[in-house]
Structure 1
Amino acid sequence: MSLRSRSRRPGRALIASLVVASVALPLAGASGPSAVPAPVPPALAPLKAATPAALTERYADNRDGIRAAEHTAAGHGDLRRAAALRAMASPARQFLSFDGRDGGRTAEVFGDLSTAERIAVLVPGSDTGLDTYGRLRAGAAALHDELGARSAVIAWLGYRTPHTIGPDVLTPGRAEDAAPLLRSFVAELAALRPGARTSLVCHSYGSVVCGRAAAGDGVAGVAAIVLYGSPGAGADDVAALNTTATVWVGRATADWIDEVPHGHVRLPFADVGLGADPVSPEFGARPFDAGDGGHSDYLEPGSVPLRNIALIVAGRLPSEADGNA
């Protein structure tokens, strides 16, 4: 895989962004997944320890909240949302948090958090919500299977993701809102499992969320930040991320995100652009081989990027891009 640095005129990034925004803006007010009502989730006391008993109680509390959201969605006539929530309420599922409002917020655990020595927090990109949650769940399950015993993967849908076709995906605004939420979640996780090695695994626009979280007050206790399928990290280089974590980056050869213009333009009404290209040598991240798949293929079972991401989470060296070990 060639992680080439391509020069782009700033005007190209601005023009492309504004053209897409002008097409998408009329759709911004349309009703969608966020319009499905859900009850206010019950206030849960912070977890004091990641013991089996405490986790079992937390999972049961959130299961009750999911069932309440299912009943509300069914009463609203949204049978698709109700079916998705019914599946989430399975006794086999483990949710640290759940809020069915505004498209949905969740944190689902794969594996045994009480014994995990390696933890990956999976941060998704655009168009991820309760109605499309299956793809995030599948990726988290595949990563956990690859990691094996003594590991846990947390699918963190902790923010309102932007639409792929829409103005919000062109700016760091949603990431700015999500960053303190991710920092808080990671801090709570570090307090629960202080001896575990924790990594942020950030796909697509999720890379901007992770970058903003690191560049703000920092993300304490994180050993690695993995950016894959990334349009940017909301920063010019690794130094701007203000992190002691090792920053890794991978992009598949058939990923359309490679054609997205990079850069940042400050306008009177918005900041447009998501920062420098993370795979460029100037950015300063460590490259890993992300294979030849597309934008949604990184966590496919048996794939090159899945294997390498699991190696990074485990604290081992992946195969690097261009065949450099």
Structure 2
Amino acid sequence: MEPTAEPGPDTTGGPPKDRRTPRWLRSLLALLITAGVVLPLSAAARPRIPAPPPAGLPAVTATTLEAAYAANRANAARAARMAEAHGDRHRAAADRALAAPAGQLLAFDGRGTGLATEVFGDLAHADRVAVLVPGSDTTLDTYGRFRATATALHRQLSRRAPESTRVAVVAWLGYDTPGTVSTAVLTTGRADEAAPRLGEFLRLLRGLTGRDTPVSLLCHSYGSVVCARSAAQGPPVADIALLGSPGTGADSAAALRTSARIWAARGGTDWVAQVPHVEADLFGTTVGFGTDPVSPAFGARVFAAGDGGHSDYFSPGSICLANLARIVLGETSEVTRA
């Protein structure tokens, strides 16, 4: 979710006049080769953490929501004990945090890098719902950072919402996120796998909250690629906000084929601004995500995100967090434009 390695400089001018490979493409190839060799070896060196399979639950409804929370908390507690016995104290602590008695864990799978869906607020009675979709390197081991963004947004919404408006935030770690430095983070492959899962979750959400409850997707970094791939597949949402996006794989907001309002923002010191906004065919695989979502050519509603970096979009007190709350609450005329 919060990459730290910066890609090479953006040298995406017009087509080269000679037969030499452009510098950005050479850098990209070097990165692909390095990631393809080093990362599989390092992953293989780390023993897999044992965990139980997900809790077997019937279809979740508004009336069975609390039972689902309890079952998933119990599963997370069991995963924590297994991780502790395995000697992985870091994963055990992450699992225990999700198993806390007050937690509202809608889904949990402690196997591998892990999956979790956590709710903040009264989901069954919410008038407005925000779903956060994370980017690369978001796993159960790094889940605390993701939870912090959801908590910050829920607090901001609770402060700003009219007294009669109930709000809920869902932290959706429902897919296997790519590593920041990996071949997967440069293509739409993981997003293509994740998009149907996000669509399925949004359909579940409609059943829990009601067809007319506005839902906003707030999509960070590689998560914006997931949201873009899901836009035309899942049920309609009110808004899709692309935060620190490397691109979506689409040429324009219109190409997403959704009735949702499309928003985009980038912090003033976000390294993703240096990512080349191109698509290239390498060995039969499309690498890169095309048009910059904050460019006029893309056609999104670009809003102010302040001077923050790639991990600062949900920082308490920031202009970006304030704007995100306005988007979720439907106060679109109050959003500060960039």
With the length of structure 2 as denominator, give the TM-score of the two structures. Answer: 0.88
Amino acid at match of 1:23: T
1:118 equivalent to 2:118? Answer no
AA partner of residue 213 (structure 1): S
Letter in 2 for 1:65: N
Residues in 2 aligned to 1:232 and 1:117: alpha-carbon distance in whole angstroms: 31
Moved more, 8-17 or 152-161: 8-17
Aligned partners of 1:205 and 1:213: how far apart in 2?
A: 13
Partner of 2:221: 204
Preserved contact between residue 49 and residue 112 of structure 2 (Cα < 8 Å): yes
User: 2:80 is matched with which residue?
Assistant: 70
Cα distance, 1:201–1:125 mapped onto 2, change above 3 Å: same
State the distance in 2 between where 1:313 and 1:16 align: 39
Q: 1:186 and 1:298 mapped to 2: Cα distance?
A: 23
Counterpart of 1:190 in structure 2 is 206
CA distance in 2, matches of 1:101, 1:307: 36
Look up the match of 2:267: 252
| Paired AA for residue 309 in structure 1 | L
Alignment CA distance shift 1:320-1:7 (3 Å)? farther
Q: Does 1:56 align with 2:66?
A: yes
Is the contact between residue 13 and residue 262 of structure 1 (CA under 8 Å) also seen in structure 2? no
Equivalent in the alignment of 1:239: 254
User: Matches of residues 136-151 of structure 1 in structure 2 within 5 Å?
Assistant: 136-148=146-158, 150-151=166-167
TM-score (norm 1): 0.92
Alignment of 1:32-181 (within 5 A): 35-48=48-61, 50-51=62-63, 54-148=64-158, 150-181=166-197
Match of 1:305 in 2: 320
Work out which structure has the larger RCO, using CA pairs closer than 8 Å and 6 or more positions apart in sequence.
Answer: 1
Deviations 1:81-117 (A, max 9, x none): 1111111111111111000112011110011112211
Give yes or no for contact 1:14–1:272 (8 Å, CA) kept in 2. Answer: no
Residue 23 and residue 9 in structure 1: after superposition, are their counterparts in 2 closer, same or farther (change >3 A)?
farther
Any conservation in 1 of the 2:303–2:323 contact (CA below 8 Å)?
yes
Q: Gaps (5+ residues) in structure 1? A: none
Q: CA 1:166–1:311 in 2, change beyond 3 Å: closer, same or farther? A: same
Q: Take 1:34 and 1:210, find their aligned partners in 2: how far apart are those partners?
A: 32
Q: Distance in 2 between matches of 1:220 and 1:113?
A: 18
Write the mapping of 1:7-18 to structure 2, written as runs, cut at 5 A.
8-9=13-14, 11-18=22-29
CA separation in 1, counterparts of 2:32 and 2:121? 40
Relative to structure 1, the CA distance from residue 243 to residue 33 in structure 2 (aligned partners, 3 Å threshold; closer, same or farther) is farther
Tell me which residue corresponds to 1:19.
Answer: 30
SS at match of 1:240: helix
Residue 320 of structure 1: CA displacement?
Answer: 0.3
Percent identity reads 52
Deviation at 1:269, TM superposition (A): 3.9
Partners in 1 of 2:26 and 2:126 — Cα distance?
Answer: 47
SS in 1 for 2:241: strand
**Offset of residue 46 of structure 1:** 1.1
Distance (Å, rounded) in 2 between the aligned partners of 1:121 and 1:211: 14
How many positions carry a matched residue from both structures? 312
Partner Cα distance (2:128, 2:66) in 1: 20
The answer for unaligned runs of 5 or more in structure 2 is: 1-9, 16-21, 159-164
Pairwise CA RMSD of aligned residues? 1.8
